[in-house]
Structure 1
Amino acid sequence: MMGACFECLVEIDGMPSRQSCLVTVQDGMRIHSQEGARDLPPLSDLNPVENAHGR
């Protein structure tokens, strides 16, 4: 649960390439498995609380 390996990538609520080991499951989430990395959405679409880089 360090988020260092990127082997747990999933799509969460339509947002691809999320690291499932770093996201707390909440009721109503739509989670789909994913093979390999995909392009991330623009940073403006990310929740700033979940954006670890603070950009």
Structure 2
Amino acid sequence: MSGRTVRLRSTDADATVHARHGLGPHPRTLEVAGLGLEQACMTITAEMAEPTC
């Protein structure tokens, strides 16, 4: 959270937006964006490096 901006990361954007909408008060603007190629690659590599115990 930065000032009046909140950034969320989610693996299911549809569910996140739906859940957020139910919380109220509703945001003035809402932007949903996908990961860039570099961010997606870093996320996948980090997940592969995590132990699976």
For the criterion TM > 0.5, the same-fold answer is no
More strand by share: 1
Name the TM-score, length of structure 1 as normaliser: 0.22
Name the TM-score, length of structure 2 as normaliser: 0.22
